[in-house]
Amino acid sequence: MKAIIVGGGGMGLSVAWGLARDGHDVELFERGPLPNPLASSMDEHRLIRHPYGDHVGYARLIDDAYAAWDLLWHDLGQRLYAATGTLALTGNGADWAERSAAALATIGKPMTELPVAELRHRFPQIEAKGVERAFWMDSGGVLFAQDIVIALARYLASQPHVRLHPHTPVRSVDLEQGRVVTEAGAVHTGDVVIVAAGAWANRLLPGFGRRLVPSRQIVIYFDLPAADRIAWAKGPMIIEKTGDVGLYLVPPMEGRGLKVGDHEFSRSGDPMDERAASKDEIRPLLDRCRSLLRGFDRWRTDRLKVCFYTVTDDERFVVEKPGARGWVMSPCSGHGFKFGALMGLELARTLITGRDAATHARWAAGLEATAPT
């Protein structure tokens, strides 16, 4: 089989990996350098964790996601992950952590409730103002995202059946015929075309414009005093929701930065726009950090990073086959990276074995307990 992949982020590279390890021909087109610093996958880290609110389907897929990463570490010859455990905090009417704990209990993965009074003893770096309940889980950690996509691109470049085309934007795709046309006018055909174009997807697939909405998101990297950095380098990852501004905190594992972001979808902006952010935009997040993190007034903002992903209304992934020879692969809504290796392997398996496309789409949407057989 010959597959044409549009987009060299975590998803495009992962499906290329899945196909290449089975000896299939792959041509991958990337509009920028490979990997592209503007891609959603190109940040120091992305989190992986079992707690998933009501989305029990995705919580159930986390063990499979870990198994897929293990296979990738084997192929790459390096493990680009650090375990942190997961601390979920909630209060002021929010109940994401409670709902996560309830959903996980139904699949035999209980979280442990920590009395809030104990939080400061166990995690002295946390102030926890406004926190009413806390839940802990030993699993969860940090995927070193940009190192993963760099290593994956390098691995694929060494594979005999893979041809990578950086700096080659695709202008149009024909998912019925299995054909793409580049900006330069070159035509390429394959047995299948996979559009894994991240926040740019609906430029190539206008029919998906209402479902895949680009969303501009800002994260903050902090410069910490040395003692705080040492404390945070042992974790934990925090997923916090105590009212208007919920945040997640990524600890500075293995020399990476400490990062904070929120999960409020802006549903605005264009990935081609200038990527500047102002302090005004992050003020609510900074205020929440001040209440939650001990010694926060000594922290300095190191840099702001603007990033784009697509959002769907139900936050489920879109991995569908809208044409006889074409797929769209958009594990989006800000939670796709953790499933990159798994989504790549399973889509490759479906393409290779001819598994049912509709069942695959439901599985990727977190609506089927197991991958199609």
Does 12 contact ligand FAD by CB under 6 A?
A: yes
User: What is the per-residue binding string for ligand FAD in 204-233, x denoting contact by CB under 6 A?
Assistant: x------------x-x--------------
Half-sphere exposure of 150 (CA within 13 A, CB side): 12
The nearer residue to ligand FAD, 63 or 132, going by C-beta atoms, is: 63
Q: Which stretch binds ligand FAD (CB under 6 A): 34-42, 110-118, 318-326, 356-364?
A: 34-42
Q: Between 19 and 225, name the residue whose CB sits nearer to ligand FAD.
A: 19
119 and 131 Cβ atoms separated by less than 8 Å: yes
What does the block give as tokens for 180?
Answer: 């793409």
Q: How far apart are CA 350 and CA 3, in angstroms?
A: 13
Give the CA angle between residues 288, 291, 297 to the nearest 5°. 95
- Selected from 214, 326, 336, 366, the binder of ligand FAD by CB under 6 A is 336
Chosen residue from 261, 323, 326, 344 binding ligand FAD by CB under 6 A: 261
Residue 180 and residue 4: Cα distance in Å, rounded?
A: 8
Of the ranges 76-84, 95-103, 105-113, 196-204, which one interacts with ligand FAD (CB under 6 A)? Answer: 196-204
Candidates 363, 1, 361, 23; CA nearest to 191 is: 1
Position 84 contacts ligand FAD (CB under 6 A): no
Classified as helix, coil or strand, 259 is: strand
Q: Does residue 55 belong to the site contacting ligand FAD (CB under 6 A)?
A: no
Among positive and negative, which fits the CA dihedral 324, 329, 333, 336?
Answer: positive
* Nearer of residues 29 and 69 to ligand FAD, judged by Cβ: 29
Interface with ligand FAD, residue 46, by CB under 6 A: yes
Q: Are 10 and 340 in contact (CB under 8 A)?
A: yes
User: Can you give 313-346 as a three-state secondary structure string?
Assistant: CCCCCEEEEEECCEEEEECCCCCCHHHHHHHHHH
Please tell me whether residue 30 binds ligand FAD under the rule CB under 6 A. yes
Give every strand in the sheet of 112-114, ordered side by side. Answer: 112-114, 133-137, 86-90, 237-241, 247-250, 258-262, 213-223, 300-311
Q: According to CB under 6 A, which residues from 276 to 315 bind ligand FAD?
A: 307, 309
Q: Does 69 bind ligand FAD (CB under 6 A)?
A: no
* Interface pick for ligand FAD out of 3, 4, 5, 9 (rule CB under 6 A): 9
In the complex, minimum distance from the CB of residue 151 to ligand FAD, in angstroms, rounded to a whole number: 15
Task: Name which position in 3, 17, 26, 36 contacts ligand FAD (CB under 6 A).
Answer: 36
Q: Is 335 in the site for ligand FAD (CB under 6 A)?
A: yes
Write down the H helix ranges in 110-234: 116-122, 145-157, 201-204, 226-232
Q: 166, 169, 269, 284: which one contacts ligand FAD (CB under 6 A)?
A: 169
The rounded distance, in Å, linking the Cα atoms of 114 and 70 is: 30
User: Which chain residues interact with ligand FAD by CB under 6 A?
Assistant: 6-12, 29-32, 36, 38-41, 46-47, 169-170, 196-200, 204, 217, 219, 261, 307, 309, 331-332, 334-338
